[in-house]
Amino acid sequence: MPYHGTPEAEARLAAETPALTEREIEELLPWMRSMGIGPVQRLQAELTFTSVKAIRDFERSSNRVAKWMIGLVVSQVVLATVQVALIICRNR
């Protein structure tokens, strides 16, 4: 729901409701300059929380990728070792 004025935006931020959705945050950003300090601080807190959550999710996915890469490197080392061992055995 788009906000049609500063009082509407401030009322949404003053309400004791669950966290704001990304869409609500986007709709409230244009009203930041005309709002009081309390609503602006809540909006900034919501933005900070969203950023921290995104960083945490990125870190988790990066850790998964790193584990897969380590596994692939280890398997390449094992395969290379086996290949070298087979070449040495054939040349004897």
Q: What is the pLDDT of residues 36-82, one digit of tens each?
A: 888 888 888 888 988 999 999 999 999 999 999 999 999 999 999 99
Q: What angle do CA 17, 19, 23 make, to 5 degrees?
A: 110
Locate 61 and state its tokens.
């996915």
What is d(CA 58, CA 82) in angstroms, rounded to the nearest whole number? 36
Higher-pLDDT residue of 15, 41: 41
Return the DSSP state at 19. Answer: P
Place of tokens 């290379």: 80
Return the DSSP state at 34. Answer: G
What is the pTM assigned to this prediction?
0.60
